[in-house]
Amino acid sequence: MPELPEVEITKRKLEPLIVGKRILSLERKKILKLERRGKAILVHLSGGKILGFHQRMSGKLLIVPRGWKDKHTHHIFKLSNGKDLLMHDVRKFGVVWYGAAKKVLSDPYFETLGEDALEIKFSKFKNLIRSKTGKIKQFMLNQKNLAGIGNIMADEILWYVKIHPETAISGLGDNKIKILWSSLRTVLKKSIKLGGSTMRDWLHPDASEGGYFKKRYVYGREGKKCFRCRSKILRKKIAGRSSYFCPRCQVLY
């Protein structure tokens, strides 16, 4: 579940807690800095090594007292300040990388990752869309196009910009593309400001919850009234995922 907002929040909250510390269980490597790439967090270590995490469906990174764990704890890294950094993952889909920076970054996930959804400039965004075919929801979910957007953010952004998730990319005019780019940034930043989406498993590193899901626009609101026009929100399988949209605000032409 963790998408760009949740991963960015995890990175920001981890930084002051672990940068400058050493990982005792990894040859006492010193933590130099943290970086987010798409939905992954890279912990840059001394000696040119990287410790990377992808939380996937249910993973979360927590800072806990030394020795704390439960049945869903799968990776524990002892820190020099007496705390532990751990990967807690109920569904066990999370990925952990460790090794020389070049080796870690040669993983197919990083080598095929597209432009970051929060950082991409409008000119590149426009050229990217113009070079693709297919439906807009599929485009947004493909990490080779835009890194970091998942199902929740895709539906939220498309509702915000009034675009049906099955809209053909070829049907988007220049003005609509610019509004989509702007809306994409607006919704992502709002989610980050509100602490991301805590639905079931994901939490901040300090175990606090995010507040965006309680204020979401459309995702998971099937049968409820649209906040703009009061029509009932629909759910449909699109690009292999449950998609939520307003049939009146997001007309498919």
Residue 108 β-bridge partners: none
Which of 2, 5, 165, 205 is catalytic? The answer is 2
Q: CA-CA distance, 92 to 49, in Å (whole number)?
A: 24
Judge whether 39 counts as a catalytic residue: yes
Which of 162, 178, 236, 241 is catalytic? The answer is 241
| Backbone angle region of 68, left / alpha / beta, with phi > 0 → left and psi within -120 to 50 → alpha | beta
Question: Which one-letter amino acid corresponds to residue 166?
Answer: E
Judge whether 241 counts as a catalytic residue: yes
Judge whether 248 counts as a catalytic residue: no
Name the H helices within 19-150.
101-105, 108-111, 122-130, 136-141
CB neighbour class for 170 (10 Å; exposed up to 12, middle 13-18, buried from 19): exposed
Judge whether 165 counts as a catalytic residue: no
Beta-carbon neighbour count of residue 210 at 10 Å?
21
Which of 3, 6, 8, 156 is catalytic? The answer is 3
Distances (CA, A) of 64 to 58, 80, 88, 207, 208: 18, 13, 11, 9, 13
CB neighbour class for 96 (10 Å; exposed up to 12, middle 13-18, buried from 19): middle
Residue 42 β-bridge partners: 35, 52
Three-state DSSP at 222 gives: coil
Active site residues: 2-3, 39, 241
